[in-house]
Amino acid sequence: MNELIKRAAKDLAAAGNVVALTGAGISIESGIPPFRGKGGLWERFDPMEYAHIDALMRDPAKVWKVLVKEMKEIVDQAEPNDGHKGLAKLEARDKLKTIITQNVDGLHQAAGSTDVIEYHGTFAWQRCMDCGKKYENREVDLSEIPPRCNCGGILRPDAVFFGEMIPQDAMWRSRQAASDCDLMLVVGTSAVVQPAALMPVYAKESGAKVVEINPEKTPLTREISDYLIMGAGGDVMNRIILELELKTDNI
Ligand SMILES: [Zn+2]
Region of 209 please: left (phi>0), alpha (psi -120 to 50) or beta: beta
Q: How far is CA 85 from CA 20, 47, 61, 187, in A?
A: 13, 31, 35, 13
Question: Which tens digits make up the pLDDT trace of 181-210?
Answer: 999 999 999 888 888 899 999 999 999 999
pLDDT of residue 251: 47
| Strands of 102-182, DSSP E | 116-118, 121-128, 134-136, 155-159
Mean pLDDT of the chain: 93
Query: If you measure from the C-alpha of residue 99 to the centroid of ligand 1, how many angstroms do you get, rounded to a whole number?
Result: 30
Q: What average pLDDT score do residues 156-164 get?
A: 94
pLDDT of residue 95: 93
pLDDT of residue 243: 94
Is 84 one of the catalytic residues? no
Query: If you measure from the C-alpha of residue 48 to the centroid of ligand 1, how many angstroms do you get, rounded to a whole number?
Result: 26
Query: If you measure from the C-alpha of residue 120 to the centroid of ligand 1, how many angstroms do you get, rounded to a whole number?
Result: 21
pLDDT of residue 61: 94
Question: Which tens digits make up the pLDDT trace of 8-65?
Answer: 999 999 999 999 999 999 999 999 987 877 778 888 888 888 899 999 999 999 999 8
User: Does the pLDDT at position 180 exceed 60?
Assistant: yes
